[in-house]
């Protein structure tokens, strides 16, 4: 199923459960109708942060299993380059308490879906569809959506919906998981779970109240400005959504179903940016926007993995080269998409031609950010074309971002020497010391350790990756396997000091994960 259906079913189910609680309160002699109202904003009636985090983890456990969940370090780095400054700005403004900062995950992730959508989950998780990145015109528009969703998290809007009857939270959690699982197997099954008059009436209604949407607009706008983004992005994004809302809903804009626009909200954003578009190029064709345009192009290519979709991107790139009316910025975006698509089908001759044209067109106007993205694209070409030394030559001088480190490591593994594999393992362990919850880093480290014949550590690293996905059963199975291997190694050849340390870590982690699995079982 498409992930937009999954998320829509989840949101609808959350709302239905909440409405059912309100109905039960209204019918109960222990609650007056006054008690059944939605909590007023900022009244402090939220559920505990830990409980909210557990709900988010339960949802993420299912998302990690979904085939539409995608790990693309280059695109994720770009998303986080916008998401992280917004989080810092929220902290500076006092919207994000120290306790919330510590307890929540503050994790962004990507969904391989062409629809225009983004969603916030309890516990600080932010999901973004590739279709949204592909559709917005610049990073300010993307920042406006992320700032709005971030404000739903910092203002704890989901928590407020649940807070009416905290004692029913485990029931709601169980119902939510049932809804997710049903939607994952059959979208119609999720609807079948939504029984009762309230469900039929509210299935396609607001996820948050209008007051909450207005608050997310107001707080998100201020956070966005604090982070250094242009407020005009909020206005132009609203204009895009308003135009889309006038059209028949064909499923491309699920964001409009969960965040319907009102005339009041549109006017409020417009009033904050009087004259914002005077003298602004509507095509955003300046080199400063090229980085977003190629990231948008990347999102378009990664959204669909069929051969005909790749061929279409290649055909559009060829047409752009011979079309005298095509703008420079559009040519660059189309050539980037064409080069990446050609790499995906191993047409390296065509990819090389597109890359050469890209370099020629942008030679005199590269910003440092755009030059960085071009270096990554060239390095990806060399990696896929089995030229790891050339890829490493491009990557080594670059700033050691997450994507650069991972690409260096992948090319070192492709070199297939003892030194290169050991270097990759060291690089990843160093990264994980500072970022211990990076799932993809643990997976890549497991591969590097296995290739380096460090099987014990490789098994433990893969267990850590599963544990971070809240999928404790396979993580525990691997730790048991690592324990057995450690005992066998001790009998046959004895353990080195590093292996003894690894065995000790495995024993400790196994006890921890067994306790977490018991706790997880009790919550179901």
The residue among 241 and 253 whose pLDDT is bigger is: 241
pLDDT above 70: residue 250: no
Higher pLDDT, 35 or 454: 454
Best CA proximity match to 370, nearest among 297, 292, 284: 292
**What pLDDT is stored for residue 302 in this prediction?**
97
pLDDT band at 256 (very low <50, low <70, confident <90, very high): low
| Distance in angstroms (rounded) separating the CA atoms of residues 31 and 422 | 65
**Dihedral Cα 428, 227, 104, 468, nearest 10 deg:** -20
Mean pLDDT throughout 202-211? 49
**Which pLDDT value is given to residue 26?**
35
Other residues' Cβ atoms within 10 Å of the Cβ of residue 415: 15
pLDDT grade for 39, boundaries at 50, 70 and 90: very low
- Residue-wise pLDDT tens digits, 328-365: 999 999 999 999 999 999 999 999 999 999 999 988 77
Length of the chain: 524
- pLDDT recorded at residue 334: 96
- The whole-number pLDDT of residue 208 equals 55
% residues pLDDT > 90 (the chain): 57
- Return the pLDDT at 273: 59
Res. 178: pLDDT tops 60:
no
Say yes or no to pLDDT of 103 above 80: yes
User: What pLDDT, on the 0 to 100 scale, is given for residue 504?
Assistant: 97
Q: What is the pLDDT of residue 420?
A: 96
Residue 272 has a pLDDT of: 62
**Both tokens of residue 152?**
């739903």
pLDDT of residue 184: 38
pLDDT tens, 3-29? 444 444 444 444 433 333 333 333 333
203: confidence class by pLDDT, cuts 50, 70, 90: very low
Q: pLDDT grade, residue 1 (50/70/90)?
A: very low
Model confidence band, residue 30 (pLDDT cutoffs 50, 70, 90): very low
Phi/psi for 455 (5° steps) reads -65, -40
Span 226-231, mean pLDDT? 93
In the chain, % of residues over pLDDT 70: 73
Summary mean pLDDT of the chain: 81
Q: Which residues contact 303 (CB under 8 A, 6 or more apart)?
A: 112, 113, 114, 130, 131, 134
Task: For the beta carbon of residue 49, count every other beta carbon within 10 angstroms.
Answer: 19
Note whether 441 and 449 are within 8 A (CB).
Answer: no
Integer Cα distance of 54 and 11 in angstroms: 17
Q: Using an 8 Å Cβ cutoff, are 95 and 223 in contact?
A: yes
Q: What does the buried/exposed string (b/e) look like for 354-392 if buried means 16 or more CB atoms within 10 Å of the residue's CB?
A: bbebbeebbeeeeeebbebbbbbbbbbbbbeeebbeebb
- Please indicate whether residue 430 or residue 183 has the higher confidence score (pLDDT): 430
Supply the DSSP string of 414-477, one letter for each residue.
HHT-HHHHHHHHHHHHHHHHH-TT-HHHHHHHHHHHHHTT-HHHHHHHHHHHHHHTT-HHHHHH
CB 105 within 8 A of CB 123: yes
pLDDT score at 120: 84
Mean pLDDT value of segment 290-319: 95
Model pLDDT for residues 119-145, shown as the tens digit of each residue: 888 889 999 999 999 999 999 999 999
Question: What is the spatial distance between Cα 419 and Cα 441, in angstroms, rounded to a whole number?
Answer: 19
**Residue 345 DSSP one-character state:** T
Q: Which residues contact 502 (CB under 8 A, 6 or more apart)?
A: 456, 457, 460, 486
């Amino acid at each position: 199923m498409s992930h937009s259906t999954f998320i829509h079913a989840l949101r609808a189910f959350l709302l239905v459960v909440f409405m059912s609680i309100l109905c039960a309160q209204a019918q109960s002699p222990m609650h007056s109708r006054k008690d059944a109202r939605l909590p007023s904003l900022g009244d402090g009636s939220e559920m505990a942060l830990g409980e909210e985090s557990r709900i988010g983890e339960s949802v993420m456990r299912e998302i990690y299993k979904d085939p539409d969940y995608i790990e693309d370090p280059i695109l994720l780095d770009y998303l986080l380059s916008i998401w992280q400054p917004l989080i810092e700005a929220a902290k500076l403004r006092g919207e994000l308490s120290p306790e919330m900062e510590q307890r929540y995950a503050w994790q962004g992730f990507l969904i391989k879906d062409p629809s225009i959508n983004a969603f916030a989950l309890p516990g600080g998780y932010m999901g973004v569809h590739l279709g949204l990145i592909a559709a917005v015109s610049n990073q300010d528009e993307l920042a406006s959506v992320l700032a709005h969703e971030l404000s739903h998290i910092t203002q704890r809007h989901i928590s407020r919906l649940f807070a009416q009857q905290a004692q029913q939270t485990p029931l709601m959690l169980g119902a939510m998981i049932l809804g997710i699982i049903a939607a994952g197997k059959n979208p119609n099954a999720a609807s079948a779970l939504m029984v009762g008059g309230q469900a039929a009436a509210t299935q396609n209604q607001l996820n948050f109240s209008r007051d909450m949407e207005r608050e997310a607009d107001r707080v998100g706008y201020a956070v966005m400005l604090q982070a250094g983004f242009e407020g005009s992005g909020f206005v132009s994004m609203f204009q895009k959504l308003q135009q889309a809302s006038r059209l028949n809903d064909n499923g491309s804009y699920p964001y409009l179903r969960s965040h319907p626009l009102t005339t009041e909200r549109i006017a409020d954003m417009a009033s904050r940016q009087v004259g914002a578009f005077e003298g602004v190029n509507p095509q955003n064709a300046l080199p400063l926007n090229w980085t977003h345009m190629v990231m948008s192009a990347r999102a378009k290519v990664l959204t669909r993995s069929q051969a005909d979709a790749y061929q279409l991107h290649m055909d559009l790139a060829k047409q752009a080269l011979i079309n005298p009316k095509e703008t420079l910025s559009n040519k660059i975006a189309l050539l980037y998409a064409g080069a990446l698509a050609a790499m995906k089908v191993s047409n390296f001759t065509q990819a090389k031609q597109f890359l050469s044209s890209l370099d020629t067109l942008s030679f005199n106007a590269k910003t440092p950010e755009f030059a960085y993205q071009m270096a990554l694209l060239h390095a990806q070409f060399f990696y896929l074309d089995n030229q790891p030394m050339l890829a490493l030559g491009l990557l080594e001088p670059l700033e050691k971002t997450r994507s650069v480190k991972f690409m260096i490591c992948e090319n070192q593994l492709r070199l297939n020497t003892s030194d290169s594999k050991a270097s990759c393992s060291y690089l990843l362990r160093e990264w994980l010391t500072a970022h211990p919850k990076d799932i993809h880093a643990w997976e890549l480290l497991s591969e590097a350790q296995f290739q380096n014949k460090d099987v014990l550590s490789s098994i433990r690293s893969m267990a850590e990756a599963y544990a971070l996905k809240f999928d404790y059963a396979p993580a525990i199975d691997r730790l048991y396997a690592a324990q057995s291997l450690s005992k066998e190694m001790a009998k046959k050849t004895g353990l080195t000091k590093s292996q003894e340390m690894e065995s000790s870590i495995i024993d400790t982690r196994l006890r921890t994960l067994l306790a977490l699995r018991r706790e997880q079982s009790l919550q179901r």
